[in-house]
Structure 1
Amino acid sequence: MRPTQTLLGGGADIPLGKHNHYLGGWGAFGGMPQKGIVTYGVAPNRQKPLAGAMHDAIFNTWRRFSSQVLYFAPPMIAGYYLMNWAIERNHYLNSKAGRV
């Protein structure tokens, strides 16, 4: 025979648990362990998502830059000197001395 709510001490408005056992009031300790309760936490490596980001950004940027600089620096330097020569040549040819 199953005990009634009054015999369990819970009154008529407190529901029974999954297996017809009174689980206790909110925050009551010492009752039967409740099943299906999920707790969430934050992993230690996720508590500070930007920890060390500035340090890593500086050194990672330098590593990537130094590995690629020989691919883009020589053409940039050659282009700069070529444009500088062309501008100076244009100024000379459009000057009084260049027209003579």
Structure 2
Amino acid sequence: MRPTQILRGGGAPDPKTGHYIGDWGSIGGANKQKGIVQWGLSANRQNPFAGATYDAVFNTFRRTKSQIFYWLPAAFAGYYILNWATERNHYLNSKAGRAEFADEE
């Protein structure tokens, strides 16, 4: 099995590729990396709730509009079934309901 470039790259440039890849723990070389940009902003300069109300209203409207036909029929069906079951239970436990279904028990 051929050793990897990391195993070959002790502290000198690799004789095969000519690149220094660094020791263990600092792989990438002794030179500072280029092309990495970091941005920072002080905590007292941030406004974490900037536009939160506006975004909440319009994002909620957009998401509800796209999903309403999935949950609205189920909600209506559940409401009417629950309402029917509650009324039926009240009737069966009333005097008239007990008189009507007394001989079935």
Q: How high is the TM-score relative to the length of structure 1?
A: 0.49
Q: Could you tell me the TM-score, scaled by structure 2's length?
A: 0.47
Larger radius of gyration: 1
